[in-house]
Amino acid sequence: MFKTKDVGDQSPNAVMAYGPGGLFNTPGLGLNRKVGKSKKKTGIKVGVKGSASSGDFDHGGRPGEIGGSESGDGGGGDDGESHSPGDGPKITSFLQATSKTPGIARDAAKVINSVHSLDDMPKVPVVATGGKQTLGYYKQTVDGRPVEIGLSKASSEDDQKLFAVHEMGHYIEGAGMEGGARNGAKEFAPFMKAVQASPEHAEWKSGKLSGAPAGASVAKYAEYLTQPHEIWARAYSQYIATRSGDIAMKGAVDRLNKIGSVSGMWSHKSFKPIGKAIDDMFAKRGWIK
Ligand SMILES: [Zn+2]
């Protein structure tokens, strides 16, 4: 029995219950995230999934799928900062394809490759989630060992890509950055400070979320939005979208922005200092240059 900590991001069907008419009952918005901390899963069979069929995303993925990593194509978004990935390993070296790996995972990982490198980190299998209750999750043991990334097809393809990067952001923070955001690591302090200066954060803190339907019960959802590791994963996905210039991901961020602070994302203006803080963290780590 391994104790695990889930970082689960749930779907419309689950979150609809929070408000009359469904707080997040808008198809394709991809903003349906789970409320609160989840520690529901125990007894995960670590090391079973993903060890059977596979290989990492760089080498020998699924038969019939395009293998190999492409890195460094493009880069530099439209937000005034342009960097190249560092010389270290890329995320595609650490993601393990299984017979259940959705194709969107590979696309998402390639976008990450174009933005930054990593240090060596434990590998993680990527699987598809079956039900409609979950848009994605990252699961790790309590001591920070990755168990799996789960991705669902319950939203539009562009949103799926953004979500895949969001979950990979949880993985990187949890397994590649010593769980820094949730542990209050010093490294994350300037990033958190930039986040806390954003008007979006003020709204999440106030518990009054713009874009939420009248009468919806948003307090718990707002609390969820302010959890450091969730803030990190959302910021990370917006960072990858802006720095890569990936059209699909940028489109997804733009759509989420139009909804209001309930989406958990930042306006381009608010995001600039946050993106800069992530640049600084990654530059210090040698992940960008
Ligand atoms: Zn999340």
Let me know: does 173 contact 180? Beta carbons within 8 Å.
yes
Domains of the chain: total: 1
pLDDT at residue 133 in the model: 57
If one counts every other C-beta atom within 10 angstroms of the C-beta of residue 37, the result is 16
Q: What pTM value is reported for the model? A: 0.79
- Tell me the CA–centroid distance for residue 64 and ligand 1, in Å: 30
Tens digit of each residue's pLDDT (9 = 90 or more) over 120-131: 999 999 998 876
- Tell me the CA–centroid distance for residue 120 and ligand 1, in Å: 23
- Tell me the CA–centroid distance for residue 157 and ligand 1, in Å: 18
Protein residues near ligand 1, an ion, with CB under 5 A: 9, 230, 233
- Tell me the CA–centroid distance for residue 10 and ligand 1, in Å: 9
pLDDT at residue 199 in the model: 95
- Neighbouring residues of 134: CB distance < 8 A, sequence distance ≥ 6: 8, 9, 10, 11, 14, 34, 150, 152, 154
For residue 120, give its domain range.
Answer: 4-285
What share of the chain in percent tops pLDDT 70? 69
- Nearest partner of 126 among 116, 135, 118, 138, judged by Cα: 138
Assess whether pLDDT exceeds 50 at residue 13: no
- Tell me the CA–centroid distance for residue 162 and ligand 1, in Å: 11
Tens digit of each residue's pLDDT (9 = 90 or more) over 44-94: 333 333 333 456 776 544 433 333 434 344 444 455 568 999 999 999 999
- Tell me the CA–centroid distance for residue 159 and ligand 1, in Å: 13
How far is C-alpha 96 from the geometric centre of its chain's CA atoms? Answer: 17
- Tell me the CA–centroid distance for residue 234 and ligand 1, in Å: 7
- Tell me the CA–centroid distance for residue 63 and ligand 1, in Å: 30
If one counts every other C-beta atom within 10 angstroms of the C-beta of residue 287, the result is 23
- Tell me the CA–centroid distance for residue 201 and ligand 1, in Å: 16
